[in-house]
């Protein structure tokens, strides 16, 4: 392993003076001997609708990240054991909490699925669960009644108190904590829930996981995480990916009879392109600029993507 002095000289400043910037090649070397357990078929099942993911990407980006997280999980367990020894009693089990944030169409869901699969391959923590914050959105009926359906995904569109309560119960070691589920076809929350039963690691993915607000005695969602990741890309690339995904959904989910966006399924491609860009620029871009992008510097790690969806470099907070 490179000594600390040489290591520091090779790294560029990141988004601020608390982050170091690794090229993909530098980051890939930190994999060490971490084995690759995913097959091509398994990876294909984890990929996004328009986001290609290769085994090389997993080797170069996700295996070093999983190694870092495995070390941090182990350190957290050692601290827990020391605390239990100090108090002379066993504490309730608490999952290691990972938050993944970023813009709409950045690839947060794909990142979360791949990271879950890679982390679950470590023998020390086979139970890795994944929750998305979409389930904590206000129902469409309530958004409509409040006049904010067009601001879906903005901070005020979430049941933030319920999300905080969920994370508090998880952090307290409660078994079978229910997380509400969201249907992207219906574009609404459902009556179904996902039960989280004391996993070793819980990944929480969503637009709002890094957001804070004015000083308050009430904890923010971001206060509960042990490690946070921001999936980053240029706004122009995010728009193109959003439009591409919108066009793909017209051929699949939008064709379901109950689909919220079924009205767009048979639009000519040019008209659908215009609709998608209007939605992006009037809603998602505004949310990105006002609420999501300002949280990037708070992340422990930033995965910075190029226009081809490939992670170009990684920025890691070191203090």
CATH, residue 231: 3.40.50.300
Asked if residue 16 lies in contact with residue 297, where contact means CB atoms within 8 angstroms, the answer is: yes
- Judge whether residue 163 has pLDDT over 50: yes
The domain of 294 spans 4-317
Tens digits of per-residue pLDDT, 178-188?
999 999 999 99
- Judge whether residue 2 has pLDDT over 60: no
Locate the DSSP E strands across 254-317: 301-305, 311-317
- Judge whether residue 225 has pLDDT over 60: yes
Tens digits of per-residue pLDDT, 11-25?
666 777 789 999 999
CB count in 10 Å sphere of residue 80: 14
Which position has the higher pLDDT, 110 or 1?
Answer: 110
> What pLDDT does 4 receive?
39
Tens digits of per-residue pLDDT, 272-297?
999 999 999 999 999 999 999 999 99
Alpha carbon distance 65, 54 (integer Å): 16
- Judge whether residue 231 has pLDDT over 60: yes
Total domains, the chain: 1
- Judge whether residue 5 has pLDDT over 70: no
Tens digits of per-residue pLDDT, 82-107?
999 999 998 888 999 999 999 999 99
Tallying the residues shown for the chain, one arrives at 319
Percent over 70 (pLDDT), the chain: 92
The helix/strand/coil state of 46 is: helix
Strand 96-102 to strand 19-23: parallel, antiparallel, or no bridges (unpaired)?
unpaired
Asked if residue 153 lies in contact with residue 104, where contact means CB atoms within 8 angstroms, the answer is: yes
> What pLDDT does 7 receive?
44
- Judge whether residue 160 has pLDDT over 70: yes
Which pTM was predicted? 0.91
Locate the DSSP E strands across 59-168: 96-102, 128-132
Residues 192-203 have a mean pLDDT of 96
Instruction: Give the distance from CA 42 to its chain's centroid.
Output: 20
Residues 134-154 have a mean pLDDT of 96
> What pLDDT does 3 receive?
41
The helix/strand/coil state of 70 is: helix
Locate the DSSP E strands across the chain: 12-13, 19-23, 96-102, 128-132, 177-183, 188-196, 201-205, 227-232, 301-305, 311-317
- Judge whether residue 9 has pLDDT over 50: no
> What pLDDT does 217 receive?
58
Percent over 90 (pLDDT), the chain: 75
What band does 208 get if pLDDT is binned at 50, 70 and 90?
confident
> What pLDDT does 49 receive?
65
> What pLDDT does 214 receive?
67
What band does 164 get if pLDDT is binned at 50, 70 and 90?
very high
Mean pLDDT of the chain: 90
Residues 298-307 have a mean pLDDT of 96
- Judge whether residue 156 has pLDDT over 60: yes
């Amino acid at each position: 392993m490179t000594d600390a002095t040489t290591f520091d000289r090779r790294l560029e400043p990141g988004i601020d003076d608390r982050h170091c910037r690794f090229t993909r090649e530098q980051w890939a070397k930190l994999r060490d001997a971490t084995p690759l357990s995913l097959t091509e078929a398994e990876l294909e099942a984890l990929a996004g609708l328009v986001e290609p993911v290769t085994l090389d990407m997993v080797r170069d980006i996700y295996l070093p990240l999983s190694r870092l997280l495995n070390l941090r999980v182990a350190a957290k367990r050692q601290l827990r054991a020391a605390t239990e020894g100090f108090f002379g009693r066993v504490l309730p089990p608490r999952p290691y909490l990972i938050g993944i944030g970023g813009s709409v169409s950045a690839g947060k869901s794909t990142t979360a699925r791949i990271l879950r699969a890679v982390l679950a391959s470590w023998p020390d923590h086979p139970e890795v669960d994944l929750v998305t914050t979409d389930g904590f959105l206000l129902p469409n009926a309530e958004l409509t009644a409040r006049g904010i359906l067009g601001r879906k995904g903005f901070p005020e569109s979430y049941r933030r108190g319920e999300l905080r309560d969920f994370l508090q119960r998880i952090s307290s070691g409660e078994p079978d904590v229910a997380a509400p589920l969201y249907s992207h076809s219906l574009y609404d929350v459902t009556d179904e829930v996902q039960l989280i039963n004391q996993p070793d690691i819980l990944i929480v993915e969503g637009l709002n996981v890094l957001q804070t607000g004015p000083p308050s005695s009430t904890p923010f969602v971001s206060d509960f995480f042990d490690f946070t990741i921001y999936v980053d890309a240029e706004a122009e690339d995010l728009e193109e990916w959003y439009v591409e995904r919108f066009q793909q959904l017209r051929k699949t989910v939008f064709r379901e009879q109950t689909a919220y966006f079924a009205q767009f399924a048979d639009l000519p491609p040019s008209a659908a392109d215009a609709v998608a860009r209007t939605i992006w620029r009037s809603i998602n871009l505004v949310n990105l600029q006002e609420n999501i992008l300002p949280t990037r510097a708070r992340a422990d790690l930033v995965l910075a993507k190029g226009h081809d969806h490939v992670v170009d470099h990684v920025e890691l907070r070191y203090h």
